[in-house]
Amino acid sequence: MNYQPLEDRLIVKVNIIDKTDGGIILAGKSKIKDQVAEVLAVGPGRYDKHQLVPMRVKVGDKVLFPQYTGNKLDGDVWILRESEVLAVVG
């Protein structure tokens, strides 16, 4: 599905972890999302006092975000706000 984020939101592709480092396979809701994701799309930015504040992240960036943030859109595609991003991973 094609998503276009609004305001200061971004669409990211998250790596879903289904196996622990020890080799235990996680099933169903036990699967966890990695905290580093690739940015697929960004909104135009947010307005502050009638001025557009542009986005600092761009498509293709790898970003770090907290474990329990964002909303799942489809499978491994999530939407979150730019303010929820902790860092851009270089």
| Radius of gyration from C-alpha coordinates of the chain | 14
* Predicted local distance difference test score (pLDDT) of residue 74: 86
Q: What is the mean pLDDT of the chain?
A: 86
- Report strand pairing: 62-64 vs 51-53: unpaired
* Predicted local distance difference test score (pLDDT) of residue 76: 86
Question: What number is the average pLDDT over the span 44-67?
Answer: 92
Contacts of 88 (CB under 8 A, 6+ apart): 56, 57, 61, 62, 63, 64
Name the percent of the chain lying above pLDDT 90: 56
Question: What number is the average pLDDT over the span 28-53?
Answer: 84
Contacts of 35 (CB under 8 A, 6+ apart): 64, 65, 66, 67
pLDDT bucket at 15, cuts 50 / 70 / 90: confident
